[in-house]
Amino acid sequence: MTVRINPRLTEISISGIRQFSNQLVNYPDAINLTIGQPDFPTPDEVKEGAIRAINENKTGYTHNAGLIDLRHTVNEFFTNKYGFSYDPESEIIITNGASQAIDIIFRTILEEGDEVILPAPIYTGYVPIIKLLGATPVFLDTTDTGFQPSAERLASLITDKTKAVLFNFPSNPTGVAIEQAQMDELAEVLATHDVFTISDEIYSENTFFRKHCSFGAYPELREKLFLVHGLSKSHSMTGWRIGFLMADKEWMQHCIKIQQYNAICASVPSQYAAIEALTTCQDTPAEMNKAYIERRNYVYRRLLDMGLEVTEPTGAFYIFPSIEKFGMTSFEFATRLLKEAGVAAVPGSAFTQYGEGYLRISYAYSMEHLEEGLNRMEKFIASL
């Protein structure tokens, strides 16, 4: 008998984001525009919260669902800001980042042969987990609707195999947030079908010009809704690994089993830090957004001046210009941009086949960094 690993794993590759960011070791002078890593430091109050917990020896296990004080804080934050509420005792789990929350959801609900609908282009982290569990991703094309998912198109894709519909808005990679009217139409479709709604709202606090629209605000969806949030982007806490999973207790009694056998609990000093983030540092995202809007405006204008077609982002810190007119695949374009111009960006094909013909640029970098990167990119495009 020959031992082997899970054959489904051999069909999965490292994400296109990391494929390009990992190459930077070979291009030490390159300008990196690949990673969605805020360039702001974690707020001092947050750091002090973790230090205080460590000094007070609060470093043992917590409840599998996380500190009850943090779960109450999470509920209070979202109730006060977005108007929806979850029971801290039975409907909130603190996870090791939003990514673990997504993994918990899929491992809880998916069976062999199930289908999950995802608006595309979409973040690279969902499809591999779906496939590992023997389910099938079904893509809702948004490239001809301004990257807004069409309710009519969603309805046409739902079958008796559909287990869930997943949304990630504001979007990675497009930077687009769903308009309120569009969300109303989507909610109407979802409410009439026996499917789960999964909403990854990790960029909820990085929405420009208006308050974030959450699927949590629709009572008709609540019984079959999973909400995913976290602090990685809002408070520049990517390495702290704190996420929030919220859902009806009927499903959470099973999600907690995955949490227990997978991670036991989230990092305890990070949980104490999270309490500070949600209480004393509620204004941090708005301050960061001022810089993101300035950077967004600059990058958007520069790309237009280069003759590229691009949708103006309304959230997150990504922009997704079309490079289709150059007659190259997005992987070829990104490879040449790195090797010939010293600029690393992510090919759109990393975000499903519906991202082909686009390039994802992160503007979670300083203006000086962005200026140099776009100057190099402009020269590269002029040479084509």
Residues with Cβ within 8 Å of 355's Cβ and at least 6 positions away in sequence, in order, are 120, 121, 173, 320, 330, 347, 348, 349
pLDDT of residue 183: 97
The CATH-assigned architecture of domain 7-42+284-382 is: Alpha-Beta Complex (3.90)
Domains of the chain: which residue ranges? 7-42+284-382, 46-279
pLDDT of residue 197: 98
Name the pairing type of β-strands 115-120 and 136-141.
parallel
Tens-level pLDDT at each residue, the chain (384 residues): 577 888 888 877 776 666 766 777 677 899 999 988 999 999 999 999 999 999 999 999 999 999 999 999 999 999 999 999 999 999 999 999 999 999 999 999 999 999 999 999 999 999 999 999 999 999 999 999 999 999 999 999 999 999 999 999 999 999 999 999 999 999 999 999 999 999 999 999 999 988 899 999 999 999 999 999 999 999 999 999 999 999 999 999 999 999 999 999 999 999 999 999 999 999 999 999 999 999 999 999 999 999 999 999 999 999 999 999 999 999 999 999 999 999 999 999 999 999 999 999 999 999 999 999 999 999 999 999
pTM: 0.95
pLDDT of residue 18: 65
pLDDT of residue 20: 67
pLDDT of residue 311: 97
pLDDT of residue 27: 79
The half-sphere exposure of 123 on its side-chain side, counting CA atoms within 13 A, is: 24
Query: In CATH terms, is domain 46-279 a member of 3.40.50.300?
Result: no
Pair 373, 33: CB distance under 8 Å = yes
pLDDT of residue 154: 98
pLDDT of residue 8: 85
Pair 86, 107: CB distance under 8 Å = no
- By three-state DSSP, how is residue 15 classified? coil
24 vs 337: CA distance, rounded Å = 12
160 vs 226: CA distance, rounded Å = 20
Say which DSSP state 96 is in: S
Cross-strand partners of 346: 360
E strand spans, the chain? 31-32, 92-95, 115-120, 136-141, 162-168, 196-200, 225-230, 243-247, 318-319, 343-344, 346-347, 359-362
Pair 275, 58: CB distance under 8 Å = no
pLDDT of residue 94: 98
Kindly provide the b/e burial profile for residues 187-210, where b requires at least 16 CB atoms within 10 angstroms of the residue's own CB.
bebbeeeebbbbbbbbbbbbbbee
335 vs 340: CA distance, rounded Å = 8
